[in-house]
Structure 1
């Protein structure tokens, strides 16, 4: 298994946000965590990324998360958050180069191998022409590709995506997710994501986990999790679920 989470709990500011969550992600698999606001999705992802303290056990590629150094973890796991911090004025090349930090010695400089990894990441995501551009000058979809390029340059084999399509229009949502899916298929890459858009999440995930109140309420294939009954119970939503070519499509239904 790439990720094995057993009975994980997380407390933040005195409140239990994640409660006894267990799930697995196989190598090369795409698992998406869904759930209403406040369900604990992002907190769970941050626990896997080593950004918050947790109870229970998280194993990454057969190694306990508790014994991994920050540098070792960064060589295994890359995380793209909802709002990555971008230093003002930073150009694309320098931002993607930050992904090589786990391989550069303290006070050292990047090597030829580091620069080659960055060039390859820029090329794979069609960003070479933007290398000298400031990030703030790019569109939302272009910036999201830059964030993925940094993760790719990092050389990690587990990609954590926290709401990767936030603030993107539908065209850029599809572009970004299809790009991640292609990178996964090219391998070796495993994806654990959180998403709000249920239809697009169901089209790309191999399996889904529904969190509600910090606990696992359902898990399985998208067709097993995205049901009208489950979504009504845990989202309080009136929806119709239609079977699509690549997964179930969730359509909101207006109240009479």
Structure 2
């Protein structure tokens, strides 16, 4: 008997403020798989991740590891799925260490304190993300790229099996983009993590994803391997972009081409 998928989404429909955002999305992510959702601005990518993470109501549409998300209490859900949002709310005056330690909340008893194990997990994650020297710094004093790594550190400290990454490298330079994504991929191999991400940089997305899903106007318009989804025809149709797609060692590379007048 095969294991249940990490994520099963069936006919997901979401409207915000009366405006339809997702119009019947189906998505399956196998345990241990990396799936990246791409699409033009306004396609519904972040909304999809929020629904999968339980941050938006999706009655009967989302199942995580065989369990309907509605059947998971908040604490249980936090041990299963961790989200890195595009712009997380950062409490004023909070240090890097204390912020990342919030990821251990699902394991700390009510009215209890963090254990030595919780602190050890946090310090290990900070070192892995090259943040060991920042633990006492306030988040507000960090650069955008440094803060992005701290947001990822909190999610990794949570110890969840499913990582939802909403534009995880948007504030990073190309070197730190590669470091963060290489780290996530390595942790995926070492700990059997499942990754569902959204990304704007199509070349980087294609380098790391096992499969890609192209959303447009709240619907899935293409799904498959990066080479099947990142085609000049699909990108021209749904992004209105002029590009060349070049085959790389790990996936297709998407190169913008200037339009001639």
Which bin holds the TM-score, normalised by the shorter protein? over 0.9
CA contact (8 A) 1:18 1:40 kept: yes
Q: 1:56 offset after TM fit, Å? A: 4.4
Which 10-residue stretch deviates more, 139-148 or 20-29?
Answer: 139-148
The Cα offsets for residues 168-192 of structure 1, whole Å up to 9 and x where unpaired, read as 2222222221221122122221100
In the alignment, the residues of structure 1 paired with residue 42 and residue 6 of structure 2 have an alpha-carbon distance, to the nearest angstrom, of 26
Count of residue pairs the alignment pairs up: 256
The Cα offsets for residues 123-144 of structure 1, whole Å up to 9 and x where unpaired, read as 3323222211222223333322
Which 10-residue stretch deviates more, 223-232 or 175-184?
Answer: 175-184
Q: Which residue of 1 aligns with 2:17?
A: 13
SS of the residue aligned with 2:99?
Answer: helix
Q: 1:110 offset after TM fit, Å? A: 1.4
Relative to structure 1, the CA distance from residue 62 to residue 34 in structure 2 (aligned partners, 3 Å threshold; closer, same or farther) is: same
The Cα offsets for residues 51-90 of structure 1, whole Å up to 9 and x where unpaired, read as 1112542111111101111111000000000011111221
Q: 1:158 offset after TM fit, Å? A: 0.4
Q: Which residue of 2 aligns with 1:146?
A: 150
Which 10-residue stretch deviates more, 32-41 or 47-56?
Answer: 47-56
Residue ranges of structure 2 left out of the alignment (5+ in a row): none
Q: Which residue of 1 aligns with 2:203?
A: 199
Aligned CA RMSD, in angstroms, stands at: 1.3
State whether structure 2 residue 224 is matched by structure 1 residue 220.
yes
Q: Which residue of 2 aligns with 1:187?
A: 191
The Cα offsets for residues 206-240 of structure 1, whole Å up to 9 and x where unpaired, read as 10000011000000000000000001111111111
State whether structure 2 residue 70 is matched by structure 1 residue 99.
no
In the alignment, the residues of structure 2 paired with residue 119 and residue 210 of structure 1 have an alpha-carbon distance, to the nearest angstrom, of 37
SS of the residue aligned with 1:191?
Answer: strand
In the alignment, the residues of structure 1 paired with residue 59 and residue 78 of structure 2 have an alpha-carbon distance, to the nearest angstrom, of 21
Q: Which residue of 1 aligns with 2:62?
A: 58
**TM-score, scaled relative to structure 2:** 0.94
Match of 2:41 among 37, 41, 50: 37
Superposition misfits of 4+ residues, deviation over 3 angstroms: none
SS of the residue aligned with 1:10?
Answer: strand
In the alignment, the residues of structure 2 paired with residue 84 and residue 15 of structure 1 have an alpha-carbon distance, to the nearest angstrom, of 24
SS of the residue aligned with 2:153?
Answer: helix
In the alignment, the residues of structure 1 paired with residue 55 and residue 14 of structure 2 have an alpha-carbon distance, to the nearest angstrom, of 11
In the alignment, the residues of structure 2 paired with residue 178 and residue 126 of structure 1 have an alpha-carbon distance, to the nearest angstrom, of 13
Residue ranges of structure 1 left out of the alignment (5+ in a row): none
CA contact (8 A) 1:141 1:176 kept: no
Q: Which residue of 2 aligns with 1:111?
A: 115
